[in-house]
Chain A
């Protein structure tokens, strides 16, 4: 992994951590929020129970680089792509989407096609997730190599 260390980043990454569905399992989302913050990112947390619409709107209003979505209730195949679709409709296709949760292999491929990457399962080290986000933001948002 050739990722740049968080403290050496060109500027601060703005990230929205969101749980777009009826899912109160917020342990992972809250741990990630703290980890992203400790990695120097500006973190916005969606709070619980936003709709995909709410999440997309929040991402635009907060002008984030990336939305990190977490669901553990099995509804990722509906909710994640829907956030992507709404962002596109609202002209914000450049906001990056990453996902995580209990996501079966076959779903990961489909999500990837919709531009939702990562799709990290339980037990993934925080560093792997942070590196993935930094790499995508630098390459796709900031057009850096």
Chain B
């Protein structure tokens, strides 16, 4: 532990030292000259100007409270060493981007997240998307599924099919993927606490279609650490979930080489109220915790690291967001190489999906949200994202209507096809501001790593409520800034108008719950009861033995049509539940 603690401290010192290095790209004498002329400009040009036309006294800073100058010069990045700090696209440390030719070779994937109601509804929707030429499916689940409760559980009342599709057993997954060849699509499933169960269900559907596990392609989110930090959808205490994730890492490395079993997510951390530096620091810290988990399970770094991918938020502080993505790539690559000794370039690549910020959308004057999403999407593209979901303008109201989803997709297509933004790799590289901000964020992220490590690591920081409180405090500060007008949201605290709710919202048919319950009851009557009982008891034995890999009995339980709730309940019985520390 001691040795690891000193790693981040050393790294932080190194990063600080790099930023005071003598000029490499710039000429030392030229920098001196600029320093002098800058000081004279300050005296002779700026100061008299400010006397005539004073500035608004507000503070100029990024969302992460990084103070900003009026403008940036080579002096701010005098230490810059092009090859060391940026490299080239597709070359270490990947600051520019992970591929040598970026979007000229492969445009980002436009992956729109969808799903609601009955499994049949989602099946129809997925088939429609496939007919439109999409190959990347992305499924949203309802709250009971996300928490691992069956649709007839008392806690599920009123929530079935509301925020996504309901899956209570393998039967529902069979319906969702009916007629969809799993060897020809890749499926992203936004699921965390029960991710292992859904992975087993997907494998079981594949088996029925005669598609071997090794051919299955897709992503499950599985990032339980950010659940405790931000999204708060868990079933057990963290160590129990981490043990199941460990089993999944080992199992998938062996049998499902094309399955991205963790998508390390900053999106929810940001939405919960974190700033950009916190989003980056906490997400990367989670990522390194999963790397440690894989190594502890006996896996070799290059065996599993290429399967890890990331999921970030992109919101309105344009330049800070772009710098965030660049810093993210560089930190990941350096630490993976230096600390974990990864050799495979794919282990060093920080591949990421981006979603524009839901919290940036306003309930008021919803059409303005199209503009906000456009700005966020453009920053994500300039930041080098591998895939992108753009939010629909009506999402502060409800699930999006088809028309709104269409506009959101078109936003990406316009950026891709009309603006030229995708033609050049990392087009803002070399901007004094962007380079300085990238380095500044990197340093602040290492400061958080050091702090987290001094608390005993991510898990301990979660148990102590530290990460959660950091976010709440930032969220509250932001809210107060909004209230006193320091922070502006157009249409909310400035340029507000009186308005009637003007747009159509999507409604989910309330009969979904009854129909799902009816199907589940039928399943419970008709399945092979002794088989169910045996499977659940084998799963319980595996859960109790921390050396066992629970994926094998879990797959058996899924195939015996044990329900999602039954399977997750076995864990609740063995591992107990989780109460989060006080956050007030």
Contacts and interface: CB of A to CB of B under 8 A. Distances in A.
> A and B from one assembly?
yes
Interface of A: 21-27, 30-31, 33-35, 37, 43, 45, 47-49, 51, 73-75, 77-79, 102, 104-105, 121-123, 125-127
A126 B479 contact: yes
A104 B501 contact: yes
B143 interface: yes
20 contacts: A21-B155, A22-B146, A22-B149, A24-B231, A27-B272, A30-B584, A34-B472, A45-B583, A48-B232, A51-B154, A73-B143, A73-B163, A74-B398, A75-B159, A78-B157, A102-B397, A104-B501, A104-B505, A122-B396, A123-B489
A73 B146 CA distance: 12
A30 B363 contact: no
A122 B501 contact: no
Interface in B552-584: 579-580, 582-584
B475 A30 contact: yes
A105 B501 contact: yes
A45 B362 CA distance: 26
Interface string B347-369: 00000000000010011100000
B409 to A, nearest CB: 23
Contact of A24 (B154, B232, B362, B492): B232
Nearest to B361: A122
B514 interface: no
B162 interface: yes
Given A31-B472, A74-B398, A104-B501, 17 more contacts: A22-B156, A24-B232, A26-B272, A27-B272, A30-B475, A34-B472, A43-B584, A73-B159, A73-B162, A74-B163, A75-B162, A78-B157, A102-B397, A104-B398, A123-B362, A123-B489, A123-B492
A34 B480 CA distance: 11
Given A24-B231, A48-B580, A127 B483 contact: yes
A43 to B, nearest CB: 7
Interface residues of B, number: 43
A102 B472 contact: no
B242 to A, nearest CB: 19
Q: Most chain-A Cβ atoms within 10 A of its Cβ — which of B156, B232, B362, B483?
A: B232
Contacts of B115: none
B162 A74 contact: yes
Contacts of B579: 47
B580 A77 contact: no
Contacts of A34: 472, 476, 584
Nearest to A37: B584
B85 interface: no
Contacts of A25: 231-232
Instruction: Return the 10 tightest CB-CB contacts between A and B, nearest first.
Output: A78-B158, A24-B232, A22-B143, A75-B158, A122-B363, A74-B162, A123-B492, A30-B472, A24-B233, A75-B159
Contacts of B580: 47-48
Nearest to A74: B162
B147 interface: yes
Contacts of A104: 397-398, 501, 505
Contact of B476 (A31, A43, A49): A31
B113 to A, nearest CB: 16
Contacts of B273: 27, 31
A17 to B, nearest CB: 9
Contacts of B483: 125-127
B508 interface: yes
Contacts of A21: 143, 155, 158-159
Contacts of B376: none
Contacts of B363: 102, 121-123
B144 interface: yes
B442 interface: no
Nearest to A104: B505
Nearest to B160: A75
Contacts of B479: 31, 35, 126
A13 to B, nearest CB: 16
B217 to A, nearest CB: 29
Given A43-B584, A47-B580, A51-B155, A22 B472 contact: no
A35 B475 CA distance: 12
Contacts of B147: 22, 49
A45 B584 contact: yes
A102 to B, nearest CB: 7
Interface string B486-524: 000100110000000100010010000000000000000
A18 B146 CA distance: 20
A82 to B, nearest CB: 8
B223 interface: no
Contacts of B359: 27
Nearest to A125: B483
B143 A23 contact: yes
B443 interface: no
A7 to B, nearest CB: 17
B377 to A, nearest CB: 21
A11 B492 CA distance: 33
B140 to A, nearest CB: 12
B286 interface: no
